[in-house]
Amino acid sequence: MNAQHVLKSVNFEFLRPENDVLANFGGLAEAVLHIDQGSAMTRLRSFAEPFIRLLRHYCHFHRLIHYRNKRW
């Protein structure tokens, strides 16, 4: 039996339909915030890295950076 535990979040649950990983990282950071702030910051970094990758992909920032580097 392979049960997956899902931590419900107040602030990150809206991400779950599109991206489970981001919702889980955000929920974990939220859960430990008042217990261990250092751990919460580490978990937020784990949230931020894939979020920035997705943002870069969907907003085509990689093309903009490539264009600016070619131009200069």
Please write the tens of the pLDDT for every residue from 17-64: 988 999 999 999 999 999 999 999 999 999 999 998 888 888 876 666
| CA 28 – CA 5 distance, rounded (Å) | 12
Compute the residue count for the chain: 72
Which pair of structure tokens corresponds to residue 19? Answer: 């991206």
| CA 11 – CA 4 distance, rounded (Å) | 21
Looking at the domain assignment, is residue 34 inside a domain?
Answer: yes
For 15, what's the count of Cα atoms within 13 Å in the CB-facing half-sphere?
A: 19
Number of structural domains (the chain) is: 1
pTM score:
0.69
pLDDT of residue 68: 58
Looking at the domain assignment, is residue 20 inside a domain?
Answer: yes
Looking at the domain assignment, is residue 2 inside a domain?
Answer: no
Looking at the domain assignment, is residue 23 inside a domain?
Answer: yes
Looking at the domain assignment, is residue 3 inside a domain?
Answer: no
Looking at the domain assignment, is residue 5 inside a domain?
Answer: no
Looking at the domain assignment, is residue 56 inside a domain?
Answer: yes
Continuous H helices in 1-72:
20-32, 37-58, 61-71
Looking at the domain assignment, is residue 18 inside a domain?
Answer: yes
